[in-house]
Amino acid sequence: MKKIKTLINEPTKTLRLYTKEEKLIAIRKRIENVEKSAPTPFFDMYMRPHNYLRISLTEKCNFRCLYCMPAEGIPLKPSEKMLKNEEIFRLVKLFAKNGVDKVRLTGGEPTIRKDLVDIVDEISKTDGIKQVGLTTNGLILHRLLPNLVNAGLTKINISIDSLNREKFAKMTRRDGFEKVWRSITMAQDYFPKVKLNVVVLRNQNDNEILDFIKLTETQNLDIRFIEFMPFGGNEFKNSNFVGYNEMLSKIIEKYGNAIEKLDDSKNDTTKAYKIRGSVGQFGFITSMSNHFCNTCNRLRITADGNLKVCLHGNSEVSLRDRIRNGDSDEDLESVIQSAVNRKKAKHAEFRNGQFTKPPKSSNDFNRRVTTQFQYLHNKSTHSNSIRLIHTSHLNLDNNSKLTHVNANGEACQVDVSHKPQTIRTAKACGTIYLTPEISRSISENTVKKGDVLTVAKIAGILGAKQVPNIIPLCHPIQLDLVDLKFDHDLENHKITVISTAKCNGNTGVEMEALMACTMSLLTIYDMCKAICPKMTIGEIKLIHKSGGKSTYQAD
């Protein structure tokens, strides 16, 4: 046996020294060693392994936090569209088989689930799962905590945004401070460290940063200050945003050289610090000002069973539908790996500090999609509720006349030589309604002709450049920009295109924007018609123009 063990580790060039039988035994041993080794995780195209799975158990929540959702709540999906427990457990086992060893349960508010203890118990028993965490608002956690710990809960994050009862009630739109604090106190008896999540908003709770820091002096708490992230329905304003540097400056002003920077592990989302001599620590989650995408190891499953590879992205893949359609584990693994392969290097749709607007709001923490946001160091204000208006009243007597017809009623091209050269912008939008099969194929990038949205974008840009060759009386224009954004609504099986055209010239670019939108929609149809021709294109319209005599903004 000693000889065989030696053989297993021998370089290939020495194998000729052993008999055929010894070689076969060694090969079998090597295979056994490989099978016993740790599973291989899902890697993306940037060689990031994914060993952390976040699962939303519900869309429901018993709070209405200012930064999270509208006061009236959100429409909830029917229960039959939610993942069943057996589907959750199957997915956990599948992900564990592929290298996931950490699971975190989120919501909505996961403690609303009456079967939460049973869910934790089953997940904690799964081979390969080493940690089971919970993110909660803490309102009813104290009732469940002993049983959750006995079931296998190993990590706890509790959200609390104010230490003042009245302010807490204002921020959560609920009166529950005492119950939440009771849960925090109890949690410290069960866990070596309790993490508190604090979303910081200017003129709301930013004056409590030092109060939270003071807690760490005597309590083993990890206070995590979170930058406010904008998404549909959460009343985001740039004036409310408080960045990491500003928060840290307040703490430095108070504690100075007593602040110690702690080592962050490879996959930490928090920049960790502590006050010298304190029991606890604090940190900052800087999703907006300083992303941590390079070491992202997280995948998310929404309450209705969609896989999201990036919190800030629109792309989702329905694992629920795959399971209910009878897909094998191997089929599911292939779908998951394909989705992971499409994960971007950093925040999906993050370009130059901006995020695209989400198609909808959601109370599912695994389905957060940020709205358009420009990080401006708080020098300007921005509201996500913009009133769309006409900025000039048109003179109907003059503008009702056709400009492409001369005094004799003959078609002619308009003379624009006398018009001033200005920066002119136009935006158009349109929608294509898909079948469920086509919608899923586009989302999963399984259309045989290729990446549908990428090709559609290129087609839209090319189309805009061809306007004077297609529309008889249009002027050739030196375009400075043609851009297209795609909003894929998986639930309603439709894609909305928003096109933008811009130039520095003496005539408008409305036709270029409309052509770009139209060509991209036609390209989507062309690439998918082999799956099913039952698609409808519609609602193509101009939604904005500026830079000329008049400015237009659609209602």
Could you report the per-residue pLDDT of 9-38, keeping only the tens digit for each?
554 445 556 676 776 777 666 666 655 566
Last residue of a domain, one of 351, 379, 403: 351
Residues 26 and 88 in one domain: no
Look up residue 272 and give its amino acid: A
Residues 13 and 71 in one domain: no
Q: Residue 439 pLDDT more than 90?
A: yes
Q: Assign 550 a pLDDT band (cuts: 50, 70, 90).
A: confident
Q: Assign 267 a pLDDT band (cuts: 50, 70, 90).
A: confident
Q: Please, what sign has the CA dihedral across residues 195, 197, 203, 204?
A: negative
Residues 243 and 221 in one domain: yes
pLDDT greater at residue 385 or residue 413 = 413
The pair of three-digit structure tokens given for residue 94, joined into one six-digit string: 């599948």
Tell me what pLDDT residue 222 has: 98
Beta bridge partners of 281: 222
Could you report the per-residue pLDDT of 289-343, keeping only the tens digit for each?
777 788 899 999 999 999 999 887 778 999 999 999 999 999 999 999 999 999 8
Domain-embedded: residue 380: no
Tell me what pLDDT residue 480 has: 92
Residues 159 and 253 in one domain: yes
Catalytic residue among 101, 327, 480, 526: 526
Domain-embedded: residue 369: no
Residue in the block written with tokens 């403690």: 111
Residues 339 and 449 in one domain: no
Domain-embedded: residue 547: yes
Tell me what pLDDT residue 388 has: 31
Q: Residue 1 pLDDT more than 70?
A: no
Report the percent of the chain where pLDDT is more than 70. Answer: 80
Q: Residue 272 pLDDT more than 50?
A: yes
Long-range contacts from 177-182, C-beta under 8 angstroms, 24+ separation:
179/138, 179/139, 179/140, 179/142, 180/137, 180/138, 180/139, 180/141, 182/142
Residues 252 and 310 in one domain: yes
Nearest Cα neighbor of 310 from 348, 264, 256 is 348
- 346-372 average pLDDT score: 47
Q: Assign 70 a pLDDT band (cuts: 50, 70, 90).
A: confident
* DSSP output for 42-100: EE-TT--EE-EEEEE--S--S---TTTS-TT--PPPPGGGSPPHHHHHHHHHHHHHTT-
Residue in the block written with tokens 């969609």: 306
pLDDT greater at residue 419 or residue 333 = 333
pLDDT greater at residue 406 or residue 379 = 406
Q: Residue 238 pLDDT more than 90?
A: no
pLDDT greater at residue 401 or residue 496 = 496
Residues 293 and 310 in one domain: yes
Q: What is the pTM of this model?
A: 0.61
Active-site annotation holds for 451: no
Domain count, the chain: 3
Q: Residue 232 pLDDT more than 70?
A: no
- 354-364 average pLDDT score: 46
Last residue of a domain, one of 351, 384, 401: 351
Cα angle 346, 348, 351; round to 5? 75
Tell me what pLDDT residue 368 has: 47
How distant, in Å, are the alpha carbons of 26, 214, 245, 259, 437 from that of 249? 61, 16, 6, 11, 52
Domain-embedded: residue 542: yes
* DSSP output for 357-421: PPSS--S-GGG--B------TTSS--BS------SS---HHHHTS-TTB-TTS-B-----TTSPP
Q: 233 near 361, Cβ under 8 Å?
A: yes
Q: Assign 417 a pLDDT band (cuts: 50, 70, 90).
A: low
Beta bridge partners of 199: 226
Read off the CATH number of the domain in which 425 is found.
3.30.70.640
Residues 414 and 436 in one domain: yes
Hey, is 139 helix, strand or coil? coil
Could you report the per-residue pLDDT of 122-135, keeping only the tens digit for each?
999 999 999 999 99
Tell me what pLDDT residue 395 has: 39
Tell me what pLDDT residue 37 has: 60
What mean pLDDT, rounded, does the chain reach?
84
Environment class of 359 (CB within 10 Å of its CB; exposed 0-12, middle 13-18, buried 19+): middle
Domain-embedded: residue 374: no
**Chain centroid to CA 181:** 30
Tell me what pLDDT residue 74 has: 79
Within 10 A of 192 (CB to CB), how many other CB atoms are there? 6
Residues 189 and 333 in one domain: yes
Q: Assign 398 a pLDDT band (cuts: 50, 70, 90).
A: very low
Domain-embedded: residue 152: yes
How distant, in Å, are the alpha carbons of 246, 257, 276, 294, 421 from that of 253? 11, 10, 15, 31, 51
Q: Which domain holds residue 473?
A: 392-553
Tell me what pLDDT residue 315 has: 81
Alpha-carbon span 122 to 537, nearest angstrom = 47
Domain-embedded: residue 382: no
Q: Assign 369 a pLDDT band (cuts: 50, 70, 90).
A: very low
Last residue of a domain, one of 296, 321, 351: 351
Residues 16 and 55 in one domain: no
Tell me what pLDDT residue 233 has: 52
Read off the CATH number of the domain in which 224 is found.
3.20.20.70
Q: Residue 277 pLDDT more than 50?
A: yes
Residue in the block written with tokens 């709540």: 73
Residues 323 and 441 in one domain: no
Domain-embedded: residue 383: no
Q: Which strands sit side by side in the sheet containing 479-489, from one edge to the other?
A: 479-489, 494-505, 422-433, 536-546, 552-553
Within 10 A of 315 (CB to CB), how many other CB atoms are there? 23
Tell me what pLDDT residue 273 has: 96
pLDDT greater at residue 210 or residue 245 = 210
Residues 309 and 446 in one domain: no
